[in-house]
């Protein structure tokens, strides 16, 4: 293709759903002598602003039909977009069929994603699948050698800048950049439609999957400085890191985003005021309380050393009393559904601390999908939204757990769900008092959690480890009695775990011999 370096924009077709900046763009183009073709609401908005505009139907000589389903799907339009100006046979075909070249296409699509997000029914969603828009976008992008295509109001500025600098012309470099953005947009659009349609059919794992996302933030680097990274939003809407507004602090890092997401998902599990303190995507303290301030103090007590430089998530409006406590140690990020004015004022003094407000809490029981990349492919699975209640528990020991122990057991098992395997969590009075994470051996996780509890007790001036009189949770079954015995040695009085090991009887016998209560959940929460 003999691409022209500069293409003068003489004729433009504008048809946009998002009319941000539309009038200003129209006025700019008209000021450069560009003939504007348009249709529907776009044409009306331009005309109302005094911008000369020609209806597409008048241009094609063919009326809009089928409730507007067929208006731009016409050879006059697609010939004008697809014709190569450097090929005599294309030019001859244009002349023979009365096809005028279109040098600029400005189209953004029916709001399918927004329509689905608001809970539209099947028929409404189908009607919001754009046909003519993607067809024109793909045509113009393919013929970028001679046509500029704009699919996002954010690209109006560079378009206008180049036209202003080049006497109404646009460079090949910009046209290529715009074409790439155009294909990315139609790709993401099709991904949203195909994902939604598969869901409508109950097809959890369709033959092909398409993943779409929109760049929200280019990050300084990834997990390490030698890695590049960015944050994209996409998929099913969910309250959390993607909906959050950052009120203050420096730019979030890759690790900040990952850890903050983990913290907020964890704290959303609880209906009572709760706080989760996260370090490297693992909780180092989680607690409930009569209010957020009490919950924070109890969460911090679990592991005050690891909490330094951590992420704090709360499931209530952040208040001044809690903020005063948080301000005493280095904290990277605070995420909350909201914050009162006093809290905001106090945090404003901490210039580097990031405050994120989400406007609500995610539903921990909602379905959804998670995606992880592998070499040459992806792992796709449903979200771990499993949970157990007191009625789901199976008591397998001679001793029955008390009501207080059951409450703590359920709390511990819920926290366990958010701890990297192998996970052991000690809980007492609705607060974690020891957490062991990510060990290759479950007995090591038990010992680490107990050791952390002992260290925390010493820091708090206690005479014995906080695990004395606690309950303990394991994310998967104890394959041997040794992990359980380590927990008993730490002072646990009751145990919760999935059960299902060939050595369950051995583990149950060890529990009975020690006089502790044990319950099975029948549900595992591996987190790798």
| Whole-angstrom distance, CA of residue 38 vs CA of residue 294 | 61
39 closest CA partner among 20, 5, 21, 62: 62
Going from the C-alpha of 353 to that of each of 297, 300, 311, 398, the distances in angstroms are: 19, 18, 10, 51
Q: Is 280 a catalytic residue?
A: yes
Cα–Cα–Cα angle for 101, 102, 104, nearest 5°? 150
434 closest CA partner among 453, 409, 406: 453
Which of 19, 216, 280, 344 is labelled catalytic? Answer: 280
Going from the C-alpha of 77 to that of each of 3, 41, 71, 250, the distances in angstroms are: 21, 18, 10, 48
> Do 249 and 352 contact (CB within 8 A), yes or no?
yes
Find all residues with CB under 8 Å of 511, minimum gap 6, and list them: 396, 397, 484, 488, 495, 517, 518
DSSP element (H, E) containing 412: helix 403-416
Residue for token pair 């390490």: 224
What are the φ and ψ backbone dihedral angles of 23, each rounded to 5 degrees? Answer: -60, -45
Which of 19, 90, 142, 344 is labelled catalytic? Answer: 142
Find all residues with CB under 8 Å of 322, minimum gap 6, and list them: 275, 291, 292, 293, 296, 314, 343
DSSP element (H, E) containing 265: helix 254-267
Q: Is 387 a catalytic residue?
A: no
Secondary structure (DSSP) of 302-328? H-HHHHTTEEEEESS-B-HHHHHHHTT
What the block records as the tokens of 190 is 């099709």
> Do 319 and 347 contact (CB within 8 A), yes or no?
no
Residue for token pair 């046209």: 175
Torsion region of 461: left, alpha or beta (phi above 0 gives left; psi -120 to 50 gives alpha): left
Which positions are catalytic?
Answer: 142, 280
């Amino acid at each position: 293709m003999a691409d022209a370096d500069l293409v003068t924009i003489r004729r433009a077709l504008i048809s946009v759903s998002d009319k941000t900046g539309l009038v200003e763009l129209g006025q700019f183009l008209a000021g450069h002598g560009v003939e504007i073709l348009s249709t529907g609401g776009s044409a009306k908005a331009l005309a109302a602003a005094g911008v000369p505009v020609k209806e597409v139907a008048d241009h094609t000589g063919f009326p809009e039909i089928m409730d507007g389903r067929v208006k731009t799907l016409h050879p006059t339009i697609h010939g004008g977009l697809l014709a190569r100006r450097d090929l005599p046979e294309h030019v001859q075909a244009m002349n023979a069929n009365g096809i005028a070249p279109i040098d600029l296409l400005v189209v953004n699509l029916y709001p399918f994603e927004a329509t689905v997000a608001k809970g539209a029914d099947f028929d409404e969603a189908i009607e919001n699948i754009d046909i003519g828009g993607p067809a024109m976008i793909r045509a113009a992008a393919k013929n970028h050698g001679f046509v500029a295509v704009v699919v996002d109001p954010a690209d109006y500025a560079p378009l206008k800048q180049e036209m202003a600098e080049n006497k109404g012309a646009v460079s090949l470099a910009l046209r290529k950049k715009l074409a790439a953005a155009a294909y990315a947009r139609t790709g993401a659009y099709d991904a949203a439609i195909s994902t939604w349609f598969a869901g409508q059919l109950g097809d959890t794992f369709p033959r092909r999957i398409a993943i779409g996302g929109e760049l929200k933030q280019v990050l300084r680097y990834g997990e390490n400085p030698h890695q590049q990274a960015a944050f994209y939003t996409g998929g099913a809407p969910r309250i959390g890191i993607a909906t959050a507004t950052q009120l203050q602090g420096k730019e979030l890092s890759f690790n900040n985003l990952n850890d903050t997401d983990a913290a907020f998902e964890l704290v959303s599990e609880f209906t009572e005021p709760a706080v989760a303190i996260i370090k490297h995507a693992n909780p180092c303290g989680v607690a409930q309380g009569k209010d957020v301030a009490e919950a924070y103090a109890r969460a911090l007590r679990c592991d005050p050393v690891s909490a330094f430089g951590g992420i704090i998530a709360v499931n209530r409006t952040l208040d001044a009393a809690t903020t005063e406590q948080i301000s005493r140690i280095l904290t990277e990020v605070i995420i909350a559904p909201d914050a009162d004015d006093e809290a905001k004022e106090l945090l404003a003094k901490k210039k580097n601390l990031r405050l994120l407000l989400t406007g609500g809490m995610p539903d921990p029981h909602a379905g959804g999908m998670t995606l992880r990349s592998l070499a040459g492919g992806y792992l796709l699975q449903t979200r771990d939204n499993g949970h157990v209640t007191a009625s789901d528990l199976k008591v397998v020991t001679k001793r029955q757990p008390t009501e207080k122990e059951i409450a703590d057991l359920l709390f511990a098992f819920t926290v366990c769900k958010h701890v990297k395997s192998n996970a052991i969590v000690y809980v007492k009075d609705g607060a974690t008092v020891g957490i062991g994470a990510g060990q290759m051996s479950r007995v090591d996780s038990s010992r680490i959690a107990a050791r952390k509890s002992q260290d925390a007790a010493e820091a708090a001036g206690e005479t014995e480890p906080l695990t004395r009189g606690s309950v303990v949770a394991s994310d998967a079954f104890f394959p041997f009695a040794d992990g359980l015995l380590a927990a008993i040695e730490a002072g646990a009085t009751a145990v919760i775990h999935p059960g299902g090991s060939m050595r369950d009887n051995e583990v149950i016998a060890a529990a009975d011999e020690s006089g502790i209560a044990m319950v099975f959940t029948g549900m595992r929460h591996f987190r790798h």
